[in-house]
Amino acid sequence: MRGTRFDRGGYGDPADGELGGGVPGGAGGHEPAVTLTDLLQVVWRRLWVIVLIATLLTGAAVGVSLMQTPTYAASIKVFVGQKPGESNSLGGDVSGLQQITQSMAVWIDTRPVAEATIRRLELEDSPDQLLDNTNSAQIGATQFIEVSYVDTSPREAQLVANTIGEVFSEQVSEVSPSANDITATVLEPAVVPTTPVSPDPLRNGLLALAFGTMLGLGLAFLLEHLDDRWRSPEEVEQISGVPTFGVIPAFRVLESKKKGG
């Protein structure tokens, strides 16, 4: 009820030792049930808080994403096989080659491969830096390994990824006589990536919007809980348990009438 402020304390004579005539918080001492309509009314009254928080967080997330330097990922696919005609050939044992492929995926992500790649391309990165930007994993239960390299330059990412594949294939061929002539062949070289993998302003904005909405809802209900004003005679009757006999309306005196008086 605009312009009117009531104390949420009970009614009655303080000398009786309790407020509200023995019915604090409403008739019978029971708190009024909160309905879905009540919750929707709270959301409507505090809608500006929810919109403000969600807008600020979404704008901040998108702004930070746009300010970040985009990174690109280039990937290759390496096939692990065996030269035909070997006496101890694993060609007929697919499961054996698949197990070897797991070890090959770990081999790619090692310092010897990184150091050889750096020397060949004359990079200024350290082996640890190159390995941090490299990821290799077996594709399912197959004999394929996917190797990806992330860089701020699309062409640099492509060049490094392809060089890693070449270096790895050469290192495998050097030790293959002791491993049943296992081969590692780059069947799908890397191409220049056109879409950055990070940052993703759309995804970050949607996540910030969802989080901001939840945060705004929580703040709206907190503000409603801390607000001790009555908003209607019906609310007074519902919570206090006593009828409303009169209402003091809110009014304003116009400036023109003040000066005229």
Domain boundaries, the chain: 14-65+201-260, 72-188
Which of the residue ranges 17-21, 56-60, 62-66, 216-220 would you say has the lowest mean pLDDT? 17-21
The 3-state DSSP class for residue 178 equals: helix
Highest mean pLDDT among 91-95, 100-104, 147-151, 179-183: 147-151
Closest CA to 182 of 149, 145, 223: 145
Q: How far is CA 56 from CA 18, 63, 133, 208, 213, in A?
A: 47, 10, 33, 9, 10
Record the pTM: 0.61
pLDDT for position 13? 47
| Model confidence at 136: pLDDT above 80 | yes
For 82, half-sphere exposure in the C-beta direction (CA atoms, 13 angstrom radius) is 21
Topology (CATH) of 72-188: Alpha-Beta Plaits (3.30.70)
pLDDT for position 4? 44
Mean pLDDT value of segment 232-254: 66
**Dihedral of the alpha carbons of 253, 231, 36, 225, in degrees to the nearest 10:** 110
pLDDT for position 235? 63
Which of the residue ranges 27-36, 146-155, 202-211 would you say has the lowest mean pLDDT? 27-36
Q: CB of 201 within 8 A of CB of 66?
A: yes
Q: Which residues contact 60 (CB under 8 A, 6 or more apart)?
A: 208
Mean pLDDT of the chain: 80
In the chain, % helix, strand, coil (3-state, to 5) comes to 55, 15, 35
The sheet with strand 144-151 has its strands ordered as: 134-138, 144-151, 72-82, 182-188
